[in-house]
């Protein structure tokens, strides 16, 4: 499959059934979360249903064959990121452990965003969870990402501006690009005035996808998102010089993704 990028309107299960096995380097998916609501935002132009007449069981039955197929679509060096929240993530983790084998689980990433209302009855729920699995842990692609600043207490800088702390054993040097990212990510949710906003409900910030794509793929790799919504994944993949495959069942989502990808400038 040699193409730069492709967006397809389809039920993703049908599309995935037609794709050859082991064709994807990286799959990120942000499926419905089992909120029991219609997801809508702003002027209500864009919406999608996230209610499941059979409850959690029906939701898991919807997700299971799709996750099984994603597993088979990954190359041996590939990785899958599944973005969920407190409602279903634990149930899906059990399913993914069965599909991938628990040994191929890599991370439970906590995306902490702080935005929105607070509760007086429990701690405010201000994070999503992203499960990361490798098709073959150990063979998978992964590049350490660095962001933020080291704690400055006792930090010195040498003649070349390299950061270090003085210890009894001599200078302890720190990486010039900052600390390695852990599995807790502080990234703000898109504000109501953000230029990135498309009006699509549940749109995720590009900063989140940048980390994922840079950590788990290389330029020229194929990055797929089978629940692409407003097209955040293909937009970032294209900008970072990856090939991309995007799918959504909604015509509005596909139109939005098409226009977003067209506007995106390729950097690499």
Ligand X SMILES: C[S@@+](CC[C@H](N)C(=O)[O-])C[C@H]1O[C@@H](n2cnc3c(N)ncnc32)[C@H](O)[C@@H]1O
Cβ proximity to ligand X: between 42 and 76 the closer is 42
User: Taking CB under 6 A as the rule, does residue 140 contact ligand X?
Assistant: no
**DSSP codes of every residue in 141-159:** -----B-S----TTEEE-T
By 3-state DSSP, what share of the chain in percent is helix, strand and coil, each rounded to 5? 25, 25, 45
Helix locations, the chain, DSSP H: 12-18, 55-73, 89-100, 206-216, 232-239, 251-263
In the region spanning residues 48 to 107, those forming contacts with ligand X, defined by CB under 6 A, are 48
Angle subtended at Cα 174 by Cα 170 and Cα 175, rounded to the nearest 5 degrees: 145
Q: Which of 221, 223, 230, 239 binds ligand X (CB under 6 A)?
A: 230
Determine, following the binding rule CB under 6 A, whether residue 250 of this chain makes contact with ligand X: yes
Could you tell me the end-to-end alpha-carbon distance of the chain, in angstroms, rounded to an integer? 21
16 lines the binding site for ligand X (CB under 6 A): no
Q: Determine if 12 is a binding residue for ligand X (CB under 6 A).
A: yes
Closest approach of ligand X to the CB of residue 160, in Å: 41
Per-residue contact string for residues 187-226; x = within reach of ligand X by CB under 6 A: -------------x-xxx----------------------
Toward ligand X, which CB reaches closer, 181 or 249?
A: 249
245: contact with ligand X by CB under 6 A = no
**248 near ligand X, rule: CB under 6 A:** yes
Phi first, then psi: what are they for 111, rounded to 5°? -95, 110
Nearest to ligand X by Cβ — which residue?
A: 229
Smaller CB separation from ligand X, 100 or 226: 226
The DSSP element (H or E) to which 109 belongs, if any, is strand 105-112
Q: Could you tell me if 78 and 134 are in contact, meaning their C-beta atoms sit under 8 angstroms apart? A: yes
Residue 32 or 78 with smaller CB distance to ligand X = 32
Interaction of residue 129 with ligand X, rule CB under 6 A:
no
């Amino acid at each position: 499959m040699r193409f730069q990028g492709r967006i397809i309107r389809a039920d993703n299960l049908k599309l995935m059934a037609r794709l050859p096995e082991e064709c994807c380097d990286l799959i990120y998916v942000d499926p419905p979360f089992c909120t029991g609501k219609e997801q809508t935002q702003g002027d209500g132009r864009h919406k999608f249903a996230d209610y499941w007449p059979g409850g959690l069981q029906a939701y898991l039955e919807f997700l299971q064959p799709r996750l099984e197929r994603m597993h088979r679509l990954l190359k041996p060096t590939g990785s899958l990121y599944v973005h969920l929240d407190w409602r279903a993530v634990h149930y899906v983790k059990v399913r993914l452990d069965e599909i991938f084998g628990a040994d191929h689980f890599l991370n439970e990433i906590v995306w902490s965003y702080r935005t929105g209302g607070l509760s007086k009855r429990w701690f405010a729920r201000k994070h999503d969870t992203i499960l990361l699995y490798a098709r073959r842990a150990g063979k998978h692609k992964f590049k350490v990402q660095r962001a933020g600043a080291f704690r400055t207490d006792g930090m010195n800088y040498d003649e070349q501006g390299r950061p270090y702390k003085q210890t009894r054993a001599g200078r302890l040097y720190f990486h010039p690009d900052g600390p390695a990212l852990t599995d807790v990510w502080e990234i703000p949710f898109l504000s109501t005035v953000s230029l990135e906003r498309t009006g699509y409900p549940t749109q995720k910030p590009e900063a989140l996808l940048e980390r994922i794509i840079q950590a788990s793929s290389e330029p020229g790799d194929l990055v797929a998102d089978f629940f692409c919504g407003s097209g955040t994944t293909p937009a970032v993949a294209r900008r970072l010089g990856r090939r991309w495959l995007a799918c959504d069942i909604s015509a509005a989502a596909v139109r939005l993704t098409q226009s977003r990808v067209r506007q995106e400038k390729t950097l690499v």
